[in-house]
């Protein structure tokens, strides 16, 4: 696979919670850190995602905002 994004974070799938149309996939990226992504149920099935499987979070964004209270 070739992709232009440079923020590719490998991890292990620790949870998949399917809703009516969207799933939340949680990756353990090590060091006690996790990333959760919302993707379609169809994508979960097409990618054959399973708990314990390897996957990568690919982050492509023009900006990242940070806020404090």
CB 18 within 8 A of CB 44: yes
Distance CA(8)–CA(59), nearest Å, equals 7
Tally Cβ neighbours within 10 Å of residue 63.
4
Strand partners, 24: 17, 38
Distance CA(37)–CA(1), nearest Å, equals 20
pTM of the complete model beyond 0.95: no
Distance CA(54)–CA(14), nearest Å, equals 10
Q: What is the pLDDT of residue 37?
A: 94
How do residues 11-68 score in pLDDT, each as one tens digit? 999 999 999 999 999 999 999 999 999 999 999 999 999 999 999 999 887 787 889 9
């Amino acid at each position: 696979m070739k992709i232009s994004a440079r923020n590719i974070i490998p991890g292990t799938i620790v949870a998949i919670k399917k809703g009516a149309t969207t799933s939340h996939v949680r990756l353990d990226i090590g060091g006690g850190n996790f990333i959760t992504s919302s993707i379609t149920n169809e994508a979960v099935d097409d990618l054959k995602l399973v708990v314990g499987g390897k996957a990568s979070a690919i982050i492509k964004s023009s900006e990242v905002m940070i806020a404090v209270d």
